Structure 1
């Protein structure tokens, strides 16, 4: 099912290339609102350029930030002041999950690259009692409702790009060099699998083709 004809989609792609902005960073402040004011250890899976890890480091005693992309991890290290308690590591979380326990675990636009149920189980295992897990993920649109929910994001995406760049075309920010792939699970699939592994988790569809998941370990 197509929302827009190919010609319009190509025009939007050109607009987004001229006025780029980070859809994931849009949710960073929301993520912080889900977390305690102060906590000891945090883990950020898929840390990218380190923006979220640096924000959490202002509340945490230590933040471990892992990403599978060496290039973006190097950039993250360069952008991070030595005064912040962040350790950046190149790690494939699917093969070697960083040992916890952690008071906070975050994962933004990354879990669709990992085996979903196994990764949730790893999060549960390495989250400290009373700890908080926050995921911002991508799902595959399947139903008419999914596509209809994506429609408001189209003009909002263009408006945000224009505002973030103050109406001036800008070069794209530093991006990952590792291969990416689209999400293959629908939102209903995600909800069903999450309920099995993390009972009581809160999931919600979000703007800009994202969903959120919040779980607090008893």
Structure 2
């Protein structure tokens, strides 16, 4: 099975299932111009996959920053990315938000409901991830974290009542195919393609996302 990651404006470069994390991280930096940085990784201990951080109760084993200064480590250079993963080939692939994109994080049930509605509305979507802890992250233009509270209020929803989090500067998302312990791997609900190289503004997506989260909240 193949996934595709955008190559040029006119082509897609197929990614084989066996491709290394290093190669994928380099692709993100080189082809999407996303900053990347290596996170923790999974280590086998007594037949159990544990996080390299050494914390037995780690909430996201193998999928969080490995060092406190991760923000300064993040790079958009394919050469530097290749060097970073050469040091630890099993490291997860993490993408800082608030730089080339922000991310709107919602529960999976709300996310798929909103996704179906967005497609009916023929909205232009950016990449969307689906994580093993049943969350979805919609990539949008930077600045969403500042705008979102007012946008949601104008729609008549108090932001605190919705399970909707906008991830901007100082946070990060895990990129496919990063694994969360035994839960599975991050996947693309909407893959990066030449068509979604230009990201939507949060204002374009916030209405269907808030509606879907509000519907979940009422349940």
TM over 0.5: no
Shorter-chain TM-score tier:
under 0.3
TM-score, structure 1 as length reference: 0.27
TM-score, structure 2 as length reference: 0.27
